[in-house]
């Protein structure tokens, strides 16, 4: 079962279309990279997927059921969410930041949560001693790794990532890309990653969505998008270094 499905979704801001007739199925245990220029609708799409935004028209399905907006906050707890701004609490240690969601969910014991935190930190190449550090003592890449650990602590079946590596230098970005792929091998889940970087989309994505002006220009496997781009714009958006 595809855990996230959109059917003929439309949304507008101040009369301007942000999403226009978007129908997508995000496949189970696969990474889908959404690439497009600024203003193409990428972030709006992610907000629709996690229920922060109810579309003006169309249907959204989560785990095979219509998205229940009366339970949006509870459903969002079943999804991991990583943003470019990271959003770590400066007054909390790394360990406290990673464990913050356990206060909301209370679904695992303290010992289980600690064990999972240590596992995730290991997978993301964060030394165990970093658990006692504060965010200001970490580099940008280390902070982003902490943000990823926090999102994955509840072991969600879906992970949404909004430009998570956009502010990092190229070497750190490539390191974290490899770590994300290693995580996916260890713990397969449905991942949707928003990016303006075609190289990042191709490095991470099993599937590629190309957005332009709120419309899906192409949605296919990475191999098919590269082999048979839908048009010249898709080819340009998937072969340049940044859009």
102: pLDDT strictly greater than 90: no
User: What's the predicted TM-score (pTM) here?
Assistant: 0.92
State residue 111's pLDDT score: 80
Across residues 136-147, what is the average pLDDT?
A: 96
Least confident range from 74-83, 107-116, 144-153, 196-205: namely 107-116
| Inside any domain, residue 37 | yes
State residue 241's pLDDT score: 61
CA distance linking residue 97 with residue 87, whole number of Å: 10
| Inside any domain, residue 86 | no
Number of structural domains found in the chain: 1
State residue 232's pLDDT score: 92
| Inside any domain, residue 30 | yes
For residue range 18-37, list pLDDT tens digits in order: 999 999 999 999 999 999 99
Confidence tier at 202 by pLDDT (50, 70, 90): very high
52: pLDDT strictly greater than 90: yes
Confidence tier at 103 by pLDDT (50, 70, 90): low
- Nearest 5°: phi and psi at 96? -65, -35
Question: Which CATH number do you get for residue 28?
Answer: 3.40.50.300
Across residues 133-154, what is the average pLDDT?
A: 96
Across residues 110-118, what is the average pLDDT?
A: 90
CA distance linking residue 41 with residue 53, whole number of Å: 13
State residue 106's pLDDT score: 56
Provide the mean pLDDT of the chain.
92
Instruction: Name the residue range of residue 66's domain.
Output: 1-78+159-168+190-242
| Inside any domain, residue 203 | yes
Instruction: For residue 163, give Cα distances in angstroms to 82, 93, 155, 186, 204.
Output: 8, 24, 21, 22, 13
CA distance linking residue 205 with residue 218, whole number of Å: 14
| Inside any domain, residue 232 | yes
């Amino acid at each position: 079962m595809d855990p996230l499905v959109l059917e003929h979704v439309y949304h507008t801001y101040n009369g301007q279309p942000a999403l226009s007739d978007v129908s997508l199925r995000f496949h189970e245990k696969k990474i889908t990279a959404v690439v497009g220029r600024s203003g193409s609708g990428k972030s709006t799409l992610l907000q629709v997927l996690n229920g922060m935004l109810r579309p003006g028209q169309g249907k959204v399905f989560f785990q095979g059921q219509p998205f229940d907006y009366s339970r949006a906050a509870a459903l969002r707890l079943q999804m991991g969410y990583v943003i470019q701004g990271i959003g770590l609490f400066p007054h909390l240690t790394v360990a406290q930041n990673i464990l913050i969601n356990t206060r909301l969910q209370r679904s695992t014991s303290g010992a289980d949560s600690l064990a999972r935190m240590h596992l995730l930190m290991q997978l993301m190449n964060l030394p165990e001693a970093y658990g006692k550090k504060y965010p200001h003592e970490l580099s940008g890449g280390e902070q982003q790794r902490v943000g990823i650990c926090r999102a994955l602590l509840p072991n969600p079946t879906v992970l949404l990532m909004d430009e998570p590596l956009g502010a990092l230098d190229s070497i750190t970005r490539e390191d974290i890309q490899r770590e994300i792929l290693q995580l996916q091998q260890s713990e397969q889940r449905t991942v949707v990653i928003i990016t303006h970087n075609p190289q990042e989309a191709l490095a991470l994505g099993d599937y590629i969505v190309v957005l332009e002006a709120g419309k899906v220009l192409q949605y296919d496997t990475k191999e098919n998008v590269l082999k048979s781009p839908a048009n010249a714009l898709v080819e340009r958006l998937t072969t340049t270094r940044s859009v």
